[in-house]
Amino acid sequence: MYMGKSRTKISNREKPFWQVSVSAMRDSLCIEEPAPCVEDAILGEKGAIVPLHSQVGPEEQDAELGINPVYVRVARREIPRYKLPAEGMLPDTALQVVRDELILDGNARLNLATFVTTWMEPQAAQLMAECFDKNMIDKDEYPQTAELERRCVNILGDLWHAPAGSTAPGCSTTGSSEACMLGGMALLWRWRQRRRAAGLDTTWPNLVMGTNVQVCWEKFCRYWQVEPRQVPMVPDRLFLRGPEAAAQCDENTIGVVAIMGSTMDGSYEPVQEINDALDELYTERKVDIPIHVDGASGGFVAPFIQPHLQWDFRVPRVASINASGHKYGLVYPGVGWVVWRDEDALPEDLVFRVNYLGGDMPTFALNFSRPGGHVAAQYYNFVRLGFDGYRRVQQSCQDVAMYLSGEVAKLGPFELLSDGSDLPVFAFRLRDDVTAYTVFDLSERLRMRGWLVPAYTFPADLTDTAVIRIVIRNGFTMDLAGLLLDDLRRQIQCLDAHSQPHAPLVPPHQRQSFAH
Ligand SMILES: Cc1ncc(COP(=O)(O)O)c(C=O)c1O
């Protein structure tokens, strides 16, 4: 962790999918050839979505994994699927066995569900491979990797307008979830310190945010026993605004989370407006509430394409900011960042010391060991692209997002909820008069061509609103956008042409694809 710039740091509708005849399904899918086994591709083995892995049941414990005879010298070989094989195999055989298992994974570049980087230059991939053996925590052994982390924290502090003269401490993390945990902990510790110093009760902390927050904030609240005060989304306000935030605050509020790039639709929350509403609250009731900006995506977008937007440390109440290096920071999955306004924003007793070049190095993390290659790759991107390179990448993503959202709006059945003018992300829903199919039907049919486009319902109070969200990332060109539009047009025509209800491709209870 670096303590500042100046220091060294799925009629057939009622039937379940598996009871629908192949010909009925083929008909509903508008395909002439026998339908591929789509449910396997989507759901994986046994059609189960496994959010958290558990031990397989007794009937599966001895299941075997057959190995293609071409890969082995013995005529036939099997290994246990869920137990450690008694003996090993040659590396090339192992490589092929594992690769064969992975071929049903989707094509990451066509994954318009994720915010996370799916393509880096080969040089960056090479650099990461060269650093696979470096452990980020071994600051003493890998001082130059530590130095690159320090430079990255300084670069981000500067990009996010840390106040002049501030040490703006910060660190790398495994992603924004960990970074949000650290930001939330600092808010909680500071609130407790203030309350204890005033001899006040510290049993009922709360954190104010919209229901559109990413799940990491609900986790934070549960893990740290903080009451989540969530402001519901309503049809004409899909994110948190100042007055609603301030109305939820009281003397037990540790902070307000403002999201720069709502996970639901990519819209930015008005940080300055929230700040101003909290100022009024202070004037009226003398409760002084800091803001944590969850810039998981926007932290790497706004500085480059919305430079005049006041959302970062220029806004006085912003105490800390997180961002995912592995989203619009353009690094493969595994790195996030968090920076605090100044040392006062980060309570000293959260900081641990590790040995560093004979001295001690302050660290703040939930993990201990972590790969060093991601930090090296972040720094690579900084020097490779510079400000103008990042600006061009993010601007081109936004150009594609705005073109695509504009064309989607012209298709007819859709209504845009956002257009990509904040994050290069937009969400749309079916107009109320379109009843022949759902966004889930459309999402599943797009998947037959390889497009991974999630359909999901909004959170509490807006759960009857189902949308499709498209995230445009580096590498998604105008050409790919044109191909996606062609497929969208084709599938809408197909769904319109079949006025009878369509057999879903996956069982209804498994259709919710949104998981970010
Ligand atoms: C606003 C927001 N916060 C936090 C996260 C969690 O980020 P990460 O996947 O880097 O842990 C996400 C992920 O999409 C997000 O969109």
Total Cβ atoms within 10 A of residue 14? 9
CA of 260 to the centre of ligand 1 (A): 11
Q: Is the CB of 263 under 6 A from ligand 1?
A: yes
CA of 416 to the centre of ligand 1 (A): 23
- Ligand 1: residue whose CA is nearest its atom 16: 263
The pLDDT score that the predictor gives to residue 69 is: 78
What is d(CA 51, CA 40) in angstroms, rounded to the nearest whole number?
Answer: 17
Torsion of CA 85, 91, 93, 99, to 10 degrees: 100
- 261 Cα nearest atom in ligand 1: 1
Domains in the chain with CATH codes: 56-105 (no CATH), 124-383 (3.40.640.10), 395-510 (3.90.1150.160)
Residue 274 parent element (H or E): helix 271-285
Residue of 114, 221, 263, 335 to mutate, ligand 1, most atoms within 8 A of C-beta: 263
CB 420 within 8 A of CB 437: no
Pull the structure tokens for residue 460.
Answer: 């509490």
The pLDDT score that the predictor gives to residue 504 is: 60
In order of 11, 49, 499, 506, the CA distances from 26 in angstroms are 14, 24, 15, 14
Maximum distance among all alpha carbons in the chain? 81
- Surface-to-core class of residue 276, CB atoms within 10 Å of its CB (0-12 exposed, 13-18 middle, 19+ buried): middle
154 contact partners, CB below 8 Å, separation of at least 6: 2, 5, 9
Residues of the chain with pLDDT under 50: 5-48, 513-516
Averaged pLDDT of the chain? 87
CA of 372 to the centre of ligand 1 (A): 21
CA of 220 to the centre of ligand 1 (A): 13
CA of 137 to the centre of ligand 1 (A): 23
Task: Return the closest-CA partner of residue 268 out of 424, 472, 163.
Answer: 424
Pull the structure tokens for residue 50.
Answer: 């496994």
pTM of this structure: 0.85
Q: Residue written as tokens 């490589």? A: 95
Q: Is the CB of 259 under 6 A from ligand 1?
A: yes
The pLDDT score that the predictor gives to residue 498 is: 73
What is d(CA 478, CA 347) in angstroms, rounded to the nearest whole number?
Answer: 47
What is d(CA 436, CA 500) in angstroms, rounded to the nearest whole number?
Answer: 7
Q: Is the CB of 324 under 6 A from ligand 1?
A: yes
Q: Is the CB of 270 under 6 A from ligand 1?
A: no
CA of 223 to the centre of ligand 1 (A): 17
The pLDDT score that the predictor gives to residue 426 is: 96
Paired with 173 in beta bridges are 336
CA of 337 to the centre of ligand 1 (A): 11
- 262 Cα nearest atom in ligand 1: 1
Give the side-chain half-sphere CA count within 13 A for 195. Answer: 19
